[in-house]
Each structure stands twice: as C-alpha cells, then as structure tokens.
Amino acid sequence: MNPERSLILVKPDGVRRGLAGAILARIEAKGYELVAVELRTATDAELAAHYAEHEGKPFYAPLVDFMKSGPVLAIVAEGQGVIPGFRSLAGATDPTQAAPGTIRGDMGRDWGVKVQQNLVHGSDSPESATREIGIWFPNL
C-alpha cells in the first residue's frame, strides 16, 4: 500500500499556548513522517479556499477571524492510515468531549461555543487532503 498524506494545522490557540512542539511530538510518536512543516500567518485567500464549503454559515466569519488571529503551524504528515489515525489522535472536535489521551482531551480547553478553538485541524478524507495540501503547500 502507498502511504497517504494529510494536512494538519496547529491552530492559533495551540501555537499561542506553546503546544506546537508537543503536538508535533505526538504526530511523530505515532510513526508519521513530517513531509513539510511551516509556521505562517494564514492569508485571506488560503482561508477562503480552505473553508469554502462553510461560506455563508453562521460560524464561517468567526472561524476565519480566529484562524487569522495568530500564526498557524501547517504540516503535511505521511504514513499508512494517517488521515483516520491523526483524527483519532486529535480527539473529538469539542475538547470537553474529547477522550483523555487525545490532543484535544489532554490539552484542549472548554471554550463553550468557541469550538473552533480546538488546537488542531486534520484532513477528513484523501480528497480533502489533496485539496488542502494544494492550498497550504502548492509546491508539493
């Protein structure tokens, strides 16, 4: 089998809290290869493309504003089953419901309605991974 790739983002709350290294360590400990890693400030164009499916929804503008509130660590990870594997490692979207042992369960905070402040993003399918990697790392 060919290994798959996933886009992983350490969101501004994770970078701001100094958790990027701990999150990278968990990705590597799981056995995934880091193909690309870059600390950057997301552009309006990147965020519009990344979240295009959510445009017009009530949470879209607050999500984009949050993602522009500070740097993100953009990562391309590769390995067998990296997409479902990282999503399992990340834990439930709402940190208050994420299991202990997951990134969100161990490091996430209870932000109430601000569920977008949940430390990480991971691609949800091979198709999404290809699209998202093309947005964040167009030269890969």
pLDDT string in tens for the chain (140-residue length): 688 999 999 999 999 999 999 999 999 999 999 999 999 999 999 999 999 999 999 989 999 999 999 999 999 999 999 999 999 999 998 888 899 999 999 999 876 556 678 999 999 999 999 999 999 999 99
Catalytic residue, chosen from 75, 121, 122, 135, is 121
Q: Residue 128 belongs to a domain with what CATH number?
A: 3.30.70.141
Rounded Cα distance, 93 and 117, in Å? 9
CA distance 4 to 125: 10
CA distance 89 to 91: 6
Q: Tally the domains of the chain.
A: 1
> Does the annotation count 50 as an active-site position?
no
| Total Cβ atoms within 10 A of residue 115 | 16
Residues forming the annotated binding site for ATP? Answer: 11, 59, 87, 93, 104, 118
Cβ(10)–Cβ(72) below 8 Å: yes
Q: Which domain holds residue 108?
A: 5-136
